[in-house]
Structure 1
């Protein structure tokens, strides 16, 4: 029997991992993201799918540690000074969004026919955004550390804190409020004490502990210690009646200035990723299809109504706090869903008699469906028409003449322009980013607003009289459009272009540009020379190596332009072929030159 039970457990584990491994790549290939893949996988293998799991809640309790570890990693990136700098976003924007959206959703519940307290519970539960869903989507897009991402993180932190007073309200309005009053104050005192104890431990105990463990030179002990810190902080916060994720976040913040920060992040990352995936799978399992079938009109109205009202409230608050319209729309799309803390609030309200079991099931299904719809909403938001940028105070490129026409005035173009301007050369610079134009004006550069991919703008900017056109745009696709347009309409114009990589260089040369340079090539070349200088090589030898490398790079490009194959030297000094074909005579001659140069450099 024991062997049979172990076999069943192993089969479930294989099914759990297999469902995620299969579903996530498919959904990411479809552009729907990992979150929806995990949720769908959970629905398929859960009790309302193939029935491989009958108790998704048991998995959910374990998988919630994925959210805990995610918040710990975020905390490692948040130094206390940086967190203090976000206080306005946390307690201003975050609190304002929670209260404003809560009032809107509560009002909608009352209008739908719920009692005021039930409407309060339903609305405030949905206000608590899914930290796991939003952070996963931000992480996939690499926007967690961006200013807009940090504002979203700040709001999520405030929402994590909000679960505590919300649970207190549920306790007060539940049965026997007089008996609950004393315990509520005890809970508040316990929560405050736990917070103080956790901050003190992080301030005075964690760093000495990791220094002692690092001296043992045992990698597995450091990994175990990292897990101990995360899970211990979560456990202590749970005892105090607070959010486990909040405890892990505080522990991460306390260690953010530690010399062990990067080691801790590397140790936690594998566990965080797997457990977070299991969290979404278990949420997918929890979707009760029988409730969906029986209550589908109510659930559809609740999902669409709550998501629309919450998104509207988020957009309004974002604009009141001076976010740009695109950022406000993006935030509204990301945070329009309910979250995992709603399950906690709804369960507590059911136990307190504020809502019945059927309403709890409907509200839980509403939250799960909203989480599943979030990746689709975010994807759809990208196709909304973007507002035209404000051109107030900008000079439009029109009727201009100059010796040099520069298209694009980003970080690359700004440096290149200084050589020309230092010699008094007449330069007309245009850029399609109004913020860039305004920023350049503050630093004394005269830049005109204009889209270089349009022929009428190029003519207005004076391309017909320019001796040289310099393309320095920050996006490869824009560069390609501009080069194609100029070579088609002005084939005799001298054209210098910023290239983004080797393949782009080959394409530009095939289009007949007069000069191109990869944006990182010369800086990397100089960097390599400096490393040899630091290692004690003399200037003559470094010059020889640089000349040899330039020659071999020119050979490679020449062969690739001819559609050929070339050997190059990797970091171990071994010759490896690039996957191209070439006329044999030309390839043999050029390969012999490259190999000879490599051998001479090695001597």
Structure 2
């Protein structure tokens, strides 16, 4: 048993190592590589992996961590400021799309209750596909990307009622409206309980764990919180992915969010890749080959219908045509929920097994096509805009304006001096520190202090290092300067990094590493670090601020 499990793991890893780099070289994206790897090694391909249930179950955690990291980017204030029309678009997208697709299913010969189930299942889009694609093309933080994210979050709230619909239709007893009403009440109570407990316990818990100074324990606590919240929402009839988002949303209000995001990143990437491979494994290639014309026609019809509906609804709710067009293309695929609902419907006798197989294959095709289609569409729109066609003026407003801030590593005596001086000169800054007590004191003084390891590239990316004016290393902890020199060399070659120097030999070594060293006495060092930053500011503006 153990050897069989090990063999499956080795096959999965080998397929990913071979096909994902190939997909990247072909410029179709890693998602397509994972999906293709799953098809090849799965039961419908070479049959190297016979049982796909275990990879599917483990891979689903990748979606949880994906939504968890997304939740870390949100705050209550950000949700409050989201225009009401965005929420209206998400609700309308589910209702209008479900109605249109249910009508089409009824016209195709399905009974109305089953047609409603089909319409509702196909109305949702794939969070697991859309978010990585948005990240790959650099659109996750622009208005179109944020609009897609909000719509996907609202769709996750529909998972519970759809699962209840499957169960109630399968049993054939009890009024449907009562079952759906109870599901909504149960879900609302669960969300309220999770949010309440989270606000009371999460910050004290992470302060306690951070005080132990154990990176392994901190990472374990992050996993515990994310998975426990996901399990709670699943028990309440909602998706595990929505639970992951709730956990991230709660931690987004704390000073630990950047370190949390860095710790969960390796798990997210690995498990999400496994999820995509499990989707590929679920494709019935025999059925796809035998009914390829039907399946491909249904997949194309579904994507065109959903894309048009989203395009028209987005424009109706005030989105410019270019953004609406991109959003329609982004949300045109089916959702991973369809694998569950159609499989359960076939098991309950609500539809034939072959019908369920065709629908599942259709959804899998739309998910596999989306990364390639979106990237090709974006390239086409870019070419048109370069020729003066399309929506170039609209794109100008889609670029984030988070630039020219200073990242201070360490909030001890020197870090505090640097922060005070930068504030006096009006230079924006963010502070990273691994001492939870210093972080707590700083935040109590309304300083932008976050718990995070500045020698982790993921943490630096979380505080927008790519757009920063400089990094100021205000700590003399061993190894920090060397680690930052390596990060600068490989990931941020244009980012100035100003560090505390020592003797002449140390200063020379730091300079050879591409860092900017200054003196050692605390007050003198703090002033010199600040002076070096202001020199950079002066070079950009032509005159020092203030």
Structure 2 residue 320 is the aligned partner of structure 1 residue 315:
no
Structure 2 residue 106 is the aligned partner of structure 1 residue 110:
yes
Q: What is residue 92 of structure 1 aligned with on the other side?
A: 88
Partners of 2:285 and 2:508 lie apart in 1 by 56
Q: 1:368-394 CA deviation, whole Å, 9 max, x = no partner?
A: 011011122113323257478699xxx
Query: Contact 1:390 / 1:434 at 8 angstroms: preserved in 2?
Result: no
Decide whether aligned partners of structure 1 residues 436 and 154 sit closer, same or farther in structure 2, where only a CA change above 3 A counts.
Answer: closer
Structure 2 residue 135 is the aligned partner of structure 1 residue 135:
no
Partners of 1:136 and 1:29 lie apart in 2 by 17
Structure 2 residue 320 is the aligned partner of structure 1 residue 324:
yes
Query: Contact 1:90 / 1:157 at 8 angstroms: preserved in 2?
Result: no
Decide whether aligned partners of structure 1 residues 435 and 62 sit closer, same or farther in structure 2, where only a CA change above 3 A counts.
Answer: closer
Decide whether aligned partners of structure 1 residues 284 and 185 sit closer, same or farther in structure 2, where only a CA change above 3 A counts.
Answer: same
Query: Contact 1:314 / 1:332 at 8 angstroms: preserved in 2?
Result: yes
Q: What is residue 271 of structure 1 aligned with on the other side?
A: 267
Partners of 2:513 and 2:254 lie apart in 1 by 43
Query: Contact 1:171 / 1:184 at 8 angstroms: preserved in 2?
Result: no
1:328 is displaced (CA, Å) by: 1.9
Decide whether aligned partners of structure 1 residues 110 and 142 sit closer, same or farther in structure 2, where only a CA change above 3 A counts.
Answer: same
Partners of 1:9 and 1:117 lie apart in 2 by 41
Task: Find 1:43's aligned residue among 39, 43, 60.
Answer: 39
Partners of 2:180 and 2:376 lie apart in 1 by 44
Q: What is residue 510 of structure 2 aligned with on the other side?
A: 572
Structure 2 residue 239 is the aligned partner of structure 1 residue 243:
yes
Secondary structure in 2 matching 1:257 = coil
Task: Find 1:292's aligned residue among 288, 291, 309.
Answer: 288
Q: What is residue 122 of structure 2 aligned with on the other side?
A: 126
Query: Contact 1:47 / 1:54 at 8 angstroms: preserved in 2?
Result: yes
State how many pairs are aligned.
410
1:149 is displaced (CA, Å) by: 0.8
Query: Contact 2:299 / 2:363 at 8 angstroms: preserved in 1?
Result: yes
Partners of 1:290 and 1:32 lie apart in 2 by 25
Structure 2 residue 337 is the aligned partner of structure 1 residue 341:
yes
Partners of 2:393 and 2:264 lie apart in 1 by 42
Secondary structure in 2 matching 1:54 = coil
Structure 2 residue 11 is the aligned partner of structure 1 residue 11:
no
Decide whether aligned partners of structure 1 residues 172 and 236 sit closer, same or farther in structure 2, where only a CA change above 3 A counts.
Answer: same
Q: How does 1:44-443 map to 2 (within 5 A)?
A: 44-86=40-82, 88-178=84-174, 185-382=181-378, 383=380, 386=384
Q: 1:483-527 CA deviation, whole Å, 9 max, x = no partner?
A: xxxxxxxxxxxxxxxxxxxxxxxxxxxxxxxxxxxxxxxx97xx7
Q: 1:213-269 CA deviation, whole Å, 9 max, x = no partner?
A: 111111111111000001000111111111111111111111101011111111111
Partners of 1:81 and 1:21 lie apart in 2 by 41
Give the TM-score of the pair, scaled to structure 2: 0.69
Partners of 2:367 and 2:139 lie apart in 1 by 19
1:292 is displaced (CA, Å) by: 1.3
Decide whether aligned partners of structure 1 residues 273 and 570 sit closer, same or farther in structure 2, where only a CA change above 3 A counts.
Answer: farther
Partners of 2:18 and 2:302 lie apart in 1 by 32
Unaligned regions of 5+ residues in structure 1, if any? Answer: 392-431, 439-522, 536-568, 577-603
1:437 is displaced (CA, Å) by: 11
Query: Contact 2:23 / 2:33 at 8 angstroms: preserved in 1?
Result: yes
Query: Which one has more relative contact order, counting CA pairs under 8 Å at least 6 apart?
Result: 2
Decide whether aligned partners of structure 1 residues 355 and 252 sit closer, same or farther in structure 2, where only a CA change above 3 A counts.
Answer: same
1:166 is displaced (CA, Å) by: 2.2
Secondary structure in 1 matching 2:87 = helix
1:51 is displaced (CA, Å) by: 1.3
Give the TM-score of the pair, scaled to structure 1: 0.63
Partners of 1:92 and 1:322 lie apart in 2 by 11
Partners of 1:107 and 1:165 lie apart in 2 by 19
Q: How does 1:440-589 map to 2 (within 5 A)?
A: 572-574=510-512
Residue range with higher mean Cα deviation, 28-37 or 382-391: 382-391
Query: Contact 1:89 / 1:154 at 8 angstroms: preserved in 2?
Result: no
Residue range with higher mean Cα deviation, 165-174 or 314-323: 165-174
Query: Contact 1:104 / 1:313 at 8 angstroms: preserved in 2?
Result: no
Q: 1:103-123 CA deviation, whole Å, 9 max, x = no partner?
A: 222232233333333332222
Partners of 1:375 and 1:435 lie apart in 2 by 23
Query: Contact 1:105 / 1:310 at 8 angstroms: preserved in 2?
Result: no
Partners of 1:575 and 1:12 lie apart in 2 by 44
Q: 1:135-187 CA deviation, whole Å, 9 max, x = no partner?
A: 01011122212111110000000111111222333344444332777665554
Q: 1:429-466 CA deviation, whole Å, 9 max, x = no partner?
A: xxx9657999xxxxxxxxxxxxxxxxxxxxxxxxxxxx
Decide whether aligned partners of structure 1 residues 199 and 359 sit closer, same or farther in structure 2, where only a CA change above 3 A counts.
Answer: same
Decide whether aligned partners of structure 1 residues 135 and 228 sit closer, same or farther in structure 2, where only a CA change above 3 A counts.
Answer: same
Partners of 1:186 and 1:317 lie apart in 2 by 30
Partners of 1:20 and 1:302 lie apart in 2 by 29
Unaligned regions of 5+ residues in structure 2, if any? Answer: 398-467, 476-506, 515-546
Decide whether aligned partners of structure 1 residues 10 and 181 sit closer, same or farther in structure 2, where only a CA change above 3 A counts.
Answer: same
